[in-house]
Structure 1
Amino acid sequence: MSFVDDYALTRSSVFKTLVSLFLLVTLINIIVIHQVYRDSDNFHRQQLARQLNEEILEFNFAAQQSTEDVRQLLETKRSATTPFYYNLIETDEIDLPHSYYPIDLQRNRHNILVGNNLKLEIGVNKTAVEEYRKSLIPIVFSGIILPVAVMIISALFFTVLILKRLEKVNHAMNRVLCGEHNVKIAVSRQDDEFDILAIHLNFMIEQMAKNESSLKSLTTGLAHDMRTPMARLKLRLEDILDQDKLSLSQRASISACYDELELILSLFNSMLEIAKLNSGQINISKESIDLGKVTQDAIEFIAPVAEAKQQRLTFRQDTLCEVTGDRSLLFRAVFNLLENAVKYTPSGGSIDIVADCYGVVIADTGIGISDYDKMYVCRPMYRADQSRSEAGNGLGLSLVDAVVNLHNAHLFLRDNNPGLRARLYFDN
């Protein structure tokens, strides 16, 4: 995919780890900022208390001089911007102290005796304290929200960057799993851990391709080299069977050997044919073919076997299906599918064949193929566990797959509940 979707992000361990780490950092950041806010507010209150004490000292000194000095100092203070308020009021109290003692902000105000009938009330303006707290709020929120936003964006950026590079690796490996050859993972000039991973995977892909090529060459060569001596051995067994001196037991034993040898020779011939089809060594004819007519011909060949098992074969052609290809190869592909359907469908079962504009569908009521085996049944010599009780060599579906690939078609295997539904799908 060319981008990272929500599902890829939510299942990414890198993204989860980064988010968890950033949440932890955010929690620590909130605790630290909250403590800084409290310390800053306490420091501000202490500063106000110190300034208030200085104000009281100053007014006490002026009160000891004269009432006029207090009034002049009061006018000067009011004309300036201070966080304190000053109220000069008349009073009959005469027990106000003239001495100074330190105060804190727990006391809302402080009274100073001025003359005989005046007192000066000094206190901290609550508005100044609240304004200072309000001025801290944007700083506190910016100290929390901004780092969180930066960390989340960073987590998304690094996660997307890592996932995109991993996606290139996954895409290349999916191509390898789908059977594509000569797949290479791009290696950048950064020489980081992803490039090292790409180098190792490229080397692994090359080794797998070499091993697969060697195995195919060995298998094909072995089948080719052994076919000739087996054919000679078959002729010699035929000559022996033509002799009249053999007893019945000898003739039966040699006939059994002859049948087994013919089965092995047929196996090798099928392996060679599949190898040639997959490698493109066979030149197929390009002619317009009515796939429905080819299917009918295959049904006529397999009908006696189905009748012997009391199976019901039904054929329906919905529309004309004309394809371009080799008639004999397509016949063998359809026949192999029909043969498998008859072989793995119990007596009294039914097999429905439908030809439409997309190809042919063969649906049986047999033992079917498990979802796991569906991924491997088209490999040569592979046999599902349920099919091992029947005679066969595991090359039927391999031949079908090779033929459909040669015709740019597709073989789809689905459950028929019960049984198997096989579809030969042609794009043209």
Structure 2
Amino acid sequence: MSFAGPDNLSRSSIFKVLLYFIACVALMFMLFTHQVFVSSETFYHKQLKRELNSETSTFSMLAATGNIENIRQSVANRSKQNNAFTYRISSASYSATSSSYPAVLSGNNVSVLNVTQPESIILLPNKEQLVIGINPELLQEYRDTVTPMLLTGIAIPVILMLAGATLFAVSILNKLSRVNQGMNRVIYGEKGVKLPVSRNDDEFDILAIHLNFLIEQVEKKENSLKSLSVGMAHDLRTPIARMKLRLESLLVTNNSPHQNELEACHDDLEILLGMFNGMLEIANLNSGKQNLEKEYVDLSKISQDVIEFLLPISDEKKQNLYLRQDAPYHLQGEPSLLFRAIYNLVENAIKYTPECGEIIVIVDNFGLVVTDNGYGVSDENKERIREPMFRVDRSRTHQGFGLGLSLVEAVIVCHGGELAFSDNNPGLRARLLLPPSY
């Protein structure tokens, strides 16, 4: 797919590294912002204390005049102005004062006590005291104003970094996804695959260019190897056929002292000739050189003919071989090739299913299925068993060259279909997925 979804992002090492980087940057930014907040609040406290000292000095000078009413009037006026300070006139407590403050002046003299504290106390001439304090709501208002600004200053950069990291990771994953898609097409045998190359000339374009060159070279080597194999099969078939005819002429005389050896050589040449003929036939089908004389075909009828032909072999192993028609299926095809394809599938099922096993040939709306309850095939070999000359270890105890399933796939592809394998638990399911029925 071209879009990197949540699952791909969660597995992406690029995205994880970006998240770790963002987490470290966000932590450092939070520590820096906290330090700025603490420093600004400390500075604001100092400013308020300076203003408190100034206010205390003003009222100290008023108290020095001895005019209590003037002081009370000033306190009332300042309280109405919603000042940054609170004012409270109360009876003086000398016992507490002497123990809490460093200096007390009696009489008409004025004492300013502990002005570095949030509250300042001024002793008045009439045995009362004026307490001036910083309005607590002012500090809370400062915090309510600054805190959202700082939180926003943290949240917005982190969100922007997360969005940028996600977009960056998605962009990288999309480019890698296109490369992986192209390579998957190559793995599944598609020819002529070209990875897209943009005009940016970045590292991904260089990677795509190198992979395109590699794919092209692999296809050239594969075509060269196939041509060599087909050429060898074609060239060797003629001398082998001549040797076979000579051996047959020698065997007809029936007076050779090496009769048994000649018969063994004749049988081996017969096998080699069959292998070369099979290779040439598969090559001709894959290349389209073999003309198909298609006609209206009933797949159930061909399957029944195959079963009747192979039934004696399955009876020898006491196997249950039968046809099940879930739906009729008709197509335009070459009857002899379809017969051979179905024959190879059923023969393989009989060969690799133990005694008293069951093989079912099913015709349905999608084509044909051959199921068995035999040994089965591992997942890593399901794609390889259709390759020419490939045989799983268990099959090496049986005679053959591994061309049967290759021929099946070549025949089905020529008819516009597909060969697929899956587990039957136990055993194997071989599906001939054909075009829609007529």
Deviation by residue 1:249-280 (Cα, 9 ceiling, x = unmatched):
x1110110111011011101101111111111
Higher mean C-alpha deviation, range 311-320 or range 324-333: 311-320
Separation of aligned partners in 1, 2:243 and 2:58: 129
Determine whether 1:110 maps to 2:121: yes
Q: Which residue of 1 is the match for residue 63 of structure 2?
A: 63
Determine whether 1:365 maps to 2:376: no
Alignment of 1:66-77 (within 5 A): 67=67, 77=78
Determine whether 1:255 maps to 2:270: no
SS in 2 for 1:393: coil
Separation of aligned partners in 2, 1:255 and 1:88: 133
Q: Which residue of 2 is the match for residue 18 of structure 1?
A: 18
Q: Which residue of 1 is the match for residue 173 of structure 2?
A: 163
Q: Which residue of 1 is the match for residue 212 of structure 2?
A: 202
Match of 2:321 among 292, 302, 313: 313
Separation of aligned partners in 1, 2:46 and 2:407: 92
Separation of aligned partners in 2, 1:277 and 1:59: 111
Higher mean C-alpha deviation, range 3-12 or range 303-312: 303-312
Equivalent residue letter for 1:225: D
Q: Which residue of 2 is the match for residue 83 of structure 1?
A: 84
Determine whether 1:47 maps to 2:47: yes
Separation of aligned partners in 1, 2:138 and 2:356: 98
Higher mean C-alpha deviation, range 15-24 or range 399-408: 15-24
Determine whether 1:225 maps to 2:226: no
Alignment of 1:238-249 (within 5 A): 238-247=248-257
SS in 2 for 1:388: helix
TM-score, L = length of structure 2: 0.89
SS in 2 for 1:140: helix
Q: Which residue of 2 is the match for residue 27 of structure 1?
A: 27
Separation of aligned partners in 2, 1:91 and 1:395: 114
Separation of aligned partners in 2, 1:103 and 1:119: 14
- Contact 2:112 2:122 (8 Å CA) reproduced: no
- Contact 1:374 1:413 (8 Å CA) reproduced: yes
- Contact 1:30 1:144 (8 Å CA) reproduced: yes
TM-score, L = length of structure 1: 0.91
Separation of aligned partners in 2, 1:88 and 1:317: 107
Higher mean C-alpha deviation, range 355-364 or range 402-411: 355-364
Give the RMSD, CA atoms, in angstroms: 2.4
Separation of aligned partners in 1, 2:114 and 2:140: 23
SS in 1 for 2:426: coil
SS in 1 for 2:433: strand
Distance verdict in 2 for CA 1:266–1:133, change over 3 Å: same
SS in 2 for 1:300: helix
Separation of aligned partners in 1, 2:300 and 2:92: 120
Using the TM superposition, give the Cα deviation of residue 126 of structure 1 relative to its aligned residue in structure 2, in angstroms: 1.3
Separation of aligned partners in 1, 2:231 and 2:435: 35
Higher mean C-alpha deviation, range 48-57 or range 168-177: 48-57
Using the TM superposition, give the Cα deviation of residue 227 of structure 1 relative to its aligned residue in structure 2, in angstroms: 1.0
Structure 1 moving runs of 4+ over 4 Å: 68-81, 87-94, 99-102, 115-119
- Contact 1:109 1:124 (8 Å CA) reproduced: no
Separation of aligned partners in 2, 1:420 and 1:327: 25
SS in 2 for 1:297: helix
Q: Which residue of 1 is the match for residue 110 of structure 2?
A: 98
What's the % identity of the aligned pairs? Answer: 46
Alignment of 1:293-312 (within 5 A): 293-312=301-320
Q: Which residue of 1 is the match for residue 5 of structure 2?
A: 5
- Contact 2:114 2:120 (8 Å CA) reproduced: no
Provide the aligned length of Structure 1 versus Structure 2.
424
